């Protein structure tokens, strides 16, 4: 039984030492969220911060947040935070199919919005500051985060 505990200690210590290799949360700044408290922004795959996004590769972006207020109709925009130009045109403007738990958004609940896309070949290589917004139906900011990436 002692050998089992020693093995468990080794495994736990190893996991703690290598935790940064498994975590894909990135540094972000809130840019005016009014309806949500953003908990984390995750990018997969991502091995460093800022994340390197490879042209032509699938990348999953996940924003975890706690809703301050409810919302029935919300949509998402992704922009170059420094230039303001639109980066991603969503095939559907409604975020509900990519939200867990599903819509409607209720005050006090924790949500995960996840979107997978192919990094466009047309993006210019180099640093890119991304602004990800979830907007109310009237265009007001429900949630907004800025985070840094590098396009390769």
Asked if residue 18 is part of any domain, the answer here is no
**Which stretches of 68-109 are assigned E, i.e. beta strand?**
74-80, 86-88, 99-100
pLDDT of residue 42: 97
- Judging by DSSP bridges, how do beta strands 126-136 and 25-26 pair with one another? unpaired
Domain assignment of residue 57, yes or no: yes
In a domain, 45, yes or no: yes
Q: Which region, left, alpha or beta, applies to residue 42 given φ > 0 means left and ψ of -120 to 50 means alpha?
A: beta
7-17 confidence digits (pLDDT tens): 334 433 344 33
Residues spanned by the domain of 66: 24-151
CATH of the domain at 96: 2.60.40.770
Q: Number of folded domains in the chain?
A: 1
pTM of the prediction? 0.79
> Is 10 part of any domain?
no
pLDDT tens for each residue of 44-69? 999 889 999 999 999 999 999 999 99
Count of all residues that appear for the chain in the document: 152
- Whether 84 is covered by a domain: the verdict is yes
1 domain-assigned: no
| pLDDT given for residue 84 in this prediction | 72
pLDDT at position 126:
94
- Could you tell me if residue 15 is inside a domain? no
Q: 88-142: per-residue pLDDT in tens?
A: 766 667 788 999 999 999 999 999 999 998 998 988 899 999 999 999 989 899 9
Whether 43 is in a domain gets the answer: yes
């Amino acid at each position: 039984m002692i050998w089992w505990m020693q093995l468990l200690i080794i495994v736990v210590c190893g996991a703690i030492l290598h935790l940064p290799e498994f975590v894909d949360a990135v540094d972000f700044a809130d840019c005016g969220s009014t309806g949500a408290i953003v908990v984390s922004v995750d990018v997969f795959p991502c091995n460093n911060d800022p994340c390197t996004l490879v042209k032509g590769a699938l990348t999953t972006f996940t924003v975890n947040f706690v809703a301050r207020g409810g919302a029935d109709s919300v949509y998402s925009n992704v922009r170059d935070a420094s230039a303001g130009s639109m980066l991603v045109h969503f095939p559907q403007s409604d975020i509900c199919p990519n939200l867990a738990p599903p819509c409607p958004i209720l005050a006090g609940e924790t949500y995960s919005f996840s979107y997978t896309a192919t990094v466009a070949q047309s993006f210019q290589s180099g640093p890119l500051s991304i602004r990800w917004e979830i907007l109310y139906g009237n265009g007001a900011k429900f949630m907004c985060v800025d985070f840094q990436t590098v396009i390769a």
